[in-house]
A = this chain, B = another copy of it.
């Protein structure tokens, strides 16, 4: 039998990856990573405003070609019998909400000479928080006149999302806004590029991006209505018409590979290009998400994804930012939660606050921090942190929060703070699990994927110990790209792929390679620490909290002493 393959294209925060997957078992045939050349690790920053994070669309275009060619070449050199013509479909996942302004032809404004140095004409990366005021304004307005919009997104519209960013663009860069014929999420743009038609009105839009970030819902006729948008800004009423009226799941076709791209890459022209989606959602599919299974994609930030069958109906969950029909698996509600920064917090710490006695390279520093931290018992360092350096996505949905560290003595070491930061993200993760279960979504299994899950056993063990639950690791490291490839196969249809459904493809192609079991002694201590975390969490993060703080330092010191005995 001829081997068949699908291609996953995964556009992350700092790089993009092409992955060729064997449809028989989900194994990686070949993969290639292209780090974005622009800015700071691919991100265009502003020294005066830590909220700003943009990307150059040119990096994506280069990335498509370089990563696809790289993967194809690797496959050929690894397997003599590999034939690029046996690739039956391509799926694409990206970060999001990462919209960009485009002109009538669909050319990103950032690629035009007159905007090439204008960050406002670039891609507004998911973690750009400059539009926090607009987010608050949108939330306020929706509370007043369209509360149903908020119910699906956890009650608060985020500065990380589509409308906030576009409204901020309109408010602070009116020239760019005026020049934009439409705004396109990069998860919709890349498939359109591959299909050879980027005209905004021709681009097939993803239900995942639309539903989770743009308040799209079929029940109210798609995007927010004209009246609502016009109240936000008079120009928004018209803009609505230049956006889209329909969004669809990723087992559907975005288009077919254009002859130009087919020739450039040596692929069969006309193969399926699946509708794009966000990395976390496709990653969840690649990690085997199903009812009862929480998939955590642990990277610079995390996305926590679950699904709930459409037939069971659904209750809104406060603070859980997205519940969208079909955004993850067809016929299921996709539920998205997440932490605004996880790996980013560790990277920040190691880049800015770890002396060279731990090593000279980032890698050495991480390794030595881990070695030193892993010899400690929970609570021994006496520290407690809040994981809010980049705000809190779930369950507070508030970007105007910050990091906090408590318990430092004159002897606190960098590796102790590193451990406390890891623990803080674990407490954040537990807070999300608790909220899901409180609202009737039982978590029976947790499958982890993403860079941190694959590379950081120390972190995964702490997550198991803090939550008191086994932490499973997805078999393939590159679950986002695998999920994209699964959708590439699904979009190609049963005849080509052999799979009746996305779920059947998952059964064949996904799995677990390792499980971290909680240590019960450690879990007992972490239960105490979690109470203090919750106290700080509620005190600093919620308006309604009122109480005492005097116990916090005392309890941390007492625990430190007990654990040092």
Contact = CB atoms under 8 A, between A and B. Distances in A.
Interface string A522-543: 0000000000000000011111
A410 B411 CA distance: 24
Contact of A352 (B400, B413, B554, B557): B413
A409 B404 contact: no
Nearest to A49: B564
Given A352-B413, A353-B355, A405 B404 contact: yes
Interface in A350-407: 351-356, 382, 388-390, 400-407
B352 A412 contact: yes
Contacts of A50: 409-411
A521 interface: no
A264 interface: no
A208 interface: no
Contacts of A390: 409-410
Contacts of A48: 564
A50 B413 CA distance: 12
Nearest to A386: B406
A414 B349 CA distance: 10
A44 interface: no
Residue among A49, A50, A413, A546 with the most chain B CB within 10 A? Answer: A50
A341 B404 contact: no
Nearest to A132: B557
Given A48-B564, A344-B410, A547 B546 contact: yes
B414 A402 contact: no
Nearest to A554: B400
A550 interface: yes
A407 B548 CA distance: 20
B550 A548 contact: no
Contacts of A554: 400
Contacts of A341: 410
A341 B541 CA distance: 30
Contact of A402 (B345, B407, B540, B545): B407
Interface residue range, chain A: 35 or more
Nearest to A365: B355
Residue among A48, A348, A402, A546 with the most chain B CB within 10 A? Answer: A402
Given A389-B410, A412-B348, A550 B557 contact: no
Nearest to A356: B356
A66 interface: no
A179 interface: no
B540 A353 contact: no
B352 A414 contact: yes
Contact of A410 (B348, B382, B401, B417): B348
A401 B549 CA distance: 12
Contacts of A545: 548-550
B382 A408 contact: no
A39 B564 CA distance: 21
A407 B401 CA distance: 8
Contacts of A401: 553
A265 interface: no
A410 B341 CA distance: 9
Contact of A407 (B49, B403, B410): B403
A432 to B, nearest CB: 20
26 contacts: A50-B410, A348-B411, A348-B412, A352-B414, A353-B353, A355-B355, A356-B356, A389-B408, A389-B410, A390-B409, A400-B554, A400-B557, A402-B407, A402-B408, A402-B556, A402-B557, A403-B407, A403-B408, A403-B409, A404-B406, A404-B408, A404-B553, A405-B408, A539-B548, A546-B546, A547-B547
Interface of A: 48-50, 341, 344-345, 348, 351-356, 382, 388-390, 400-414, 417, 539-543, 545-550, 552-554, 556-557, 564
